[in-house]
Amino acid sequence: MTPELAHDLKAAVRTIPDYPKPGIMFRDITTLLGDPRAFRRAVDELVQPWAGSKIDKVAGIEARGFIIGGAIAHQVSSGFVPIRKKGKLPHTCVSMEYALEYGTDIIEIHVDALQPGERVILVDDLIATGGTAEGAIKLLRHIGAEVVAACFIVDLPDLGGAAKIRSMGVPVRTLVEFGGH
């Protein structure tokens, strides 16, 4: 990706100071999603390393990961699998508890969403501490998926999430970085 493209994509992300609490700089991708050119370029850049590869499914983390993941699944001609918070999926589920900054949460996937050995790309809008993505990778692996990569538009490298995912043996693709929180 060229520095110009990275700059353009970064400029398309809105920063909202002190949300959801004082001291946090919230990186809002809805402005990027609303810009047809930026959205298309972001999807194209996220899938570029896997273009032509056999990808069976794209798994998107609730909720912005659904938007990006659906577009990526379309680009790589694969199916899409939602990873949701506990209690949101209507069929029999497999669950995984994961660590948050202050506590834990649970994510779920339908038990029949993937077949063992299927090649999956995990997608979300942003990687911060990596807790949710780590839980999602463990969940996908638990049901037998091969996690080929994890893709995020935004990386907050100071929080270490991308490094955590790489330490799990999963390649990480991000498009823009923001220092701090």
Task: Give whole-number Cα distances, 175 to 15, 30, 125, 155, in Å.
Answer: 16, 15, 10, 8
Of 27, 41, 64, 84, catalytic: 64
> What is the helix (H) or strand (E) element at residue 152, kind and residue range?
strand 146-155
Note if 64 is an active site residue.
Answer: yes
Q: How many residues does the chain have?
A: 181
CB atoms within 10 A of CB 122: 28
Q: Tokens 């990808």 correspond to what residue?
A: 55
Three-state DSSP at 81 gives strand
Note if 101 is an active site residue.
Answer: yes
Catalytic residues, by residue number, are 64, 101
